[in-house]
Amino acid sequence: TGWYNRLYINFTLRRHIFFFLLQTYFPATLMVMLSWVSFWIDRRAVPARVPLGITTVLTMSTIITGVNASMPRVSYIKAVDIYLWVSFVFVFLSVLEYAAVNYLTTVQERKERKLRDKVRFSIS
């Protein structure tokens, strides 16, 4: 029952995902793949494996810190946080894998040495 003017506004919001891919996701993925390189390095090559593990862990923590500093503070977990923390866990687990392999190899070598000594003394 009358003439009512209305104002229609249409907002189109676009997110440039290429920036986040290039600055966050791609380097994090490369760090995870770089940490996997330690699986192909000989277990006795301590000078090669330890710096590789430490470097990847420190780089992932730097990436996480940089992303958190550049993002707005919100009270919920963002998808990028989940991705980066899962990537950090993978990198950290590759370091723990080396520690476990080194420890288990040392234990096995001690057992073999004791067995060889026992056999040598029983023969003499």
pLDDT at 58 (0 to 100) = 96
pLDDT at 51 (0 to 100) = 93
pLDDT tens, N- to C-terminus, the chain (124 residues): 677 778 788 999 888 888 888 999 999 999 999 999 999 998 888 888 999 999 999 999 999 999 999 988 999 999 999 999 999 999 999 999 999 999 999 999 999 999 888 887 776 6
What does the block give as tokens for 37? 């390189």
Contact 102, 50 (CB under 8 A): no
Query: Residue 31, exposed/middle/buried by CB under 10 A (0-12, 13-18, 19+)?
Result: buried
| CA–CA dist 100, 114 (Å, integer) | 21
pLDDT at 8 (0 to 100) = 83
pLDDT at 1 (0 to 100) = 63
pTM of the model: 0.79
| CA–CA dist 64, 68 (Å, integer) | 6
Domain ranges of the chain: 17-122
Contact 59, 84 (CB under 8 A): no
pLDDT at 43 (0 to 100) = 85
What does the block give as tokens for 94? 């590759």
Q: Which of 113, 122, 91, 99 is nearest to 43 (CA)?
A: 99
Q: What is the DSSP string of 48-63?
A: HHHHHHHHHHHHHHHH
